[in-house]
Amino acid sequence: MAKSTGKAAAKSSTKAGRKADDELTAGTKAGSKKAGAKKASAKKAPAKKADSKKADAKKAPAKKADTQKADSKKADTKKAASKKAASKKAASKKAASKKAAGPKAKPTKNTPEIPSTLERSPDPKAARTFVETHDSAVEQYGKGERATRTALAAVKHSYEKVGDHWEPKDEKGPSDSQAASPRGRSGTSAGGVDTSATRAHLYLLAQRLDIAGRSRMSKDQLIEALQKANDAASAKARR
């Protein structure tokens, strides 16, 4: 009986030992598995971070391009609005100037023809000045070159020729020595170019008429170049 009890106790002890070994093995495996998972996770983290950084770096230029595109579109819209406003303002100013200038000049008995350069002028007063002065000169001197010179001298006191038409001057006064002489009988004509203007003003006109080599020209050279450009523009407009 005692022998049988000892065997049972030994068997139970062996079984308990095996169970403990199994639990230890299982615990070791679980710990190893957990450590492996942690190691794998730690290994993946830098790669995941690198991929995320790479993706952000890839998106950055596209995002920057979109921002630049949006800014460019915004700038274009602003520029178009500014241009439209300037155009509207210019049209309004032109209309107001035309209204203030009065009616268009009409041919008369003493002045049957009005120079086309004056008819093309934005300010109708230029043509009216010519007609009124020419009519008066014809009554005083008769028809002919003298009456025409007198009328043109009057125009040159307030207007200057720009291309194929006349425009109001910033400051009134004779444009050349012929306009300065009594009834335009002497002196030299500059064809409507304001010789009393500054070189800076003449240069701006040369820019408008796209005269080549203007930056290197003296004032006298600009006057000559403007006169030639005006004659060419007038001839072209008459064709």
Per-residue pLDDT reduced to its tens digit, 117-163: 999 999 999 999 999 999 999 999 999 999 999 999 999 999 999 99
**pLDDT value at residue 46:** 65
- pTM of the prediction? 0.58
Q: How far apart are CA 173 and CA 196, in angstroms?
A: 8
Strand partners, 162: 165
Give the closest residue to 114 by CA, choosing from 140, 135, 139. Answer: 135
Helix (H) / strand (E) containing 159: strand 159-162
Which H helix or E strand runs over 73? helix 2-101
Residue 78 scores a pLDDT above 80: yes
Tell me how crowded residue 18 is: count the other CB atoms within 10 A of its CB. 10
Q: pLDDT class for 91, splitting at 50, 70, 90?
A: low
* Residue spans per domain, the chain: 116-238
Q: What is the mean pLDDT of residues 55-67?
A: 73
Q: Give tens-digit pLDDT for 92-121.
A: 655 555 566 678 889 999 999 999 999 999
Rounded Cα distance between 52 and 89, Å, is 54
What share of the chain in percent tops pLDDT 70?
Answer: 69
Q: What's the whole-number average pLDDT of the chain? A: 81
Whole-angstrom Cα distance, residue 232 to residue 140?
A: 34
DSSP state of 138: H
Task: Count the Cβ atoms, other than its own, within 10 Å of residue 231.
Answer: 14
Residue 27 above 80 pLDDT? Answer: no
